[in-house]
C-alpha cells in the first residue's frame, strides 16, 4: 500500500464549480499535512497546511480526519487558473525529521 494515495483524475469541471479532492495516508504517526499545487513543468508550490480543526483560505478549504487517516481539499468557485495538479503531502512519521511524502497528485482541468 502506498504511503499517500490520491485519485489521479483528471477532474474536468466548468468554471464556477465546486470540486473536492481526497487523500488517504497509511502512517498513523504522521504529524503534519499539506496541499501543494504543481503546474506543468514547474516546481510544487505550497497551497495550504492542513490542521485538525480544518482551515480555510479564500476559496480553498482543507480538512483532516486523523481517525480515518484522510485529508480533503475543497475548491469553491473554480477558476481557469486553478487548473493544475494538486499534491497531498504528508510528513512521513516519527523520524524526528521533516520527511515529506507526496501523493501521486490529482489533476484538475477547469474549462470555460
Partner 1 sequence: DTEVTQTPKHLVMGMTNKKSLKCEQHMGHRAMYWYKQKAKKPPELMFVYSYEKLSINESVPSRFSPECPNSSLLNLHLHALQPEDSALYLCASSPSGVGKEAFFGQGTRLTVV
Burial of 100 (0-12, 13-18, 19+ CB in 10 A): middle
Residue of 34, 62, 63, 78 that binds partner 1 (CB under 8 A):
34
For 37, the grid coordinates are 499545487
CA separation for the pair 56, 93 (Å, rounded): 25
45 or 79, CB closer to partner 1? 45
Q: Is 46 in the site for partner 1 (CB under 8 A)?
A: yes
- Under rule CB under 8 A, which residues in 48-107 are in contact with partner 1? 49, 87, 91, 95-105
90 vs 110, beta carbon nearer partner 1 = 90
Question: Which range, of 17-25, 43-51, 61-69, 76-84, touches partner 1 by CB under 8 A?
Answer: 43-51
The phi-psi region of residue 95 (left if phi > 0; otherwise alpha if psi is between -120 and 50; otherwise beta) is alpha
Beta bridge partners of 88: 35
Residue appearing with cell numbers 512519521? 93
Q: Does 1 bind partner 1 (CB under 8 A)?
A: no
Interface contacts to partner 1, rule CB under 8 A: 31-32, 34, 41-46, 49, 87, 91, 95-105
Amino acid at each position: 500500500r502506498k504511503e499517500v494515495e490520491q485519485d489521479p483524475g483528471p477532474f474536468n469541471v466548468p468554471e464556477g464549480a465546486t470540486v473536492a479532492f481526497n487523500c488517504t495516508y497509511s502512517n498513523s504517526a504522521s504529524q503534519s499535512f499539506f496541499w501543494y499545487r504543481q503546474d506543468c513543468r514547474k516546481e510544487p508550490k505550497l497551497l495550504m497546511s492542513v490542521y485538525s480543526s480544518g482551515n480555510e483560505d479564500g476559496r480553498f478549504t482543507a480538512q483532516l480526519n486523523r481517525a480515518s487517516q484522510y485529508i480533503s481539499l475543497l475548491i469553491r468557485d473554480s477558476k481557469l487558473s486553478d487548473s493544475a495538479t494538486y499534491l497531498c503531502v504528508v510528513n512521513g512519521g516519527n523520524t524526528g525529521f521533516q520527511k515529506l511524502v507526496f501523493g501521486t497528485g490529482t489533476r484538475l482541468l477547469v474549462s470555460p
